[in-house]
Amino acid sequence: MKVDIEPGSGFCFGVENAVNIAEEALRDGETVYCLGEIVHNDIEVARLTGLGLQTITYDEFERLHDCKVLVRAHGEPPSTYAKARENNITVIDATCPIVRSMQEKIRQVAELSREERGQIVIYGKEGHAEVIGLMGAAGPRGILITGKEDLGRIDFTKPVFLFSQTTKSKVQYEVVAEIIRLKMEQMAADHPGNTLKVHNTICRQVSGREPRLREFSRKHDVIIFVSGRQSSNGRMLFEVCQQENSRCHFISAPEELREEWFRDASNAGVCGATSTPKWLIQKVAEIVESF
Ligand code: SF4
């Protein structure tokens, strides 16, 4: 059977950068701790653990002193850096430059809008590491919304500065932004200062992947989507593939492949999330080819 790999599959730039920084830090044999899993992919985490990277929880981090801790691509709130300074921890900062510049922008906006009581609204997944970092940058006027159901948290009579977690769906972000815009318009006559500024913060590495995956899914009889189950970006992109092709299967490891999925198929496509390593996608493609 003919098997194609979606050309854009593999780590995004930010995750690749973080993995390279981790490998470099591990080269001299010293213990390096990683605050949370470096990537939402168990197989890649196991590979790096084999090289000496030790994943720790936030509770464990609080108890560490005099060591090296890697901050992954998602970034961290200011409180993490403060704790590291307090405990003489050397931070190896692998925050994705795109996330870092968004944190910086949020800090600036929060500072500049202090007098007018501007609200920094973050559209993202509750508990996601990147969102925790962004909320930390926003400070006390930060408001998290996970979807339309949380819009009641916003005061539509005051200015709103809207940001999105980098890996959210562009379409859903636009829908949420439009609802906020309409609600604010309704109140504008009585509250002329209630401006809305929508910041375009969806990462292009993700938004560009969506249309390409749609086309790729339509062109193949069967689609195998490889991703860690905890990856929110993986869930989102898998849904995109499913919308275009009903013979779409989500796997997190090659052992989950089933030969019967390919019955009567003449071709198959293999793709994955921004947190899925290319080597794993290639391995899956080779197995499918052998069926
Ligand atoms: S998805 Fe984009 S913003 Fe997020 S880590 Fe990857 S490159 Fe950076």
Helix 42-50, helix 13-26: angle, nearest 10? 20
- Between CA 261 and CA 223 the distance in angstroms is 10
Domain range annotation of the chain: 2-9+207-290, 13-97, 100-165+168-201
Q: Which of 16, 115, 130, 174 is catalytic?
A: 130
For residue 24, the CA-to-ligand 1 centroid distance in Å is 20
State which of 156-160, 226-230, 234-238 shows the largest mean pLDDT. 156-160
- Please work out whether the CB of residue 206 comes within 6 Å of at least one atom of ligand 1: yes
Query: What confidence tens digit (pLDDT) does each residue in 234-243 have?
Result: 988 999 999 9
Q: Quick one: which H or E segment has residue 216?
A: helix 209-219
Query: What confidence tens digit (pLDDT) does each residue in 77-90 have?
Result: 999 999 999 999 99
Residue 288 confidence class, pLDDT cut points 50, 70, 90: very high
Q: Output the six-digit token pair for 146.
A: 């996970």
In this structure, CATH architecture of domain 13-97: 3-Layer(aba) Sandwich (3.40)
Q: What is the CATH number of domain 100-165+168-201?
A: 3.40.1010.20
pTM check: above 0.95: no
- Do 13-97 and 2-9+207-290 fall under one CATH topology? no
Q: Which single residue is written with the structure tokens 């920084």?
A: 21
For residue 275, the CA-to-ligand 1 centroid distance in Å is 9
With residues binned 3-state (H G I as helix, E B as strand, rest as coil), the percentages for the chain, rounded to 5, are: 50, 20, 35
Contact by Cβ (8 Å): 10, 201: no
Residue 230 confidence class, pLDDT cut points 50, 70, 90: confident
Contact by Cβ (8 Å): 47, 279: no
Nearest protein Cα to ligand 1, atom 5:
14
pLDDT confidence of residue 50? 93
For residue 14, the CA-to-ligand 1 centroid distance in Å is 5
Query: What confidence tens digit (pLDDT) does each residue in 120-143 have?
Result: 999 999 999 999 999 999 999 999
Integer angstrom CA distances of residue 113 from 27, 154, 158: 45, 16, 11
Q: Output the six-digit token pair for 251.
A: 């796997």
DSSP letter assigned to residue 253: S
Q: What is the CATH number of domain 2-9+207-290?
A: 3.40.1010.20
Catalytic residue list contains 130: yes
Of 130, 232, 131, 233, give the one whose Cα is nearest residue 121.
131
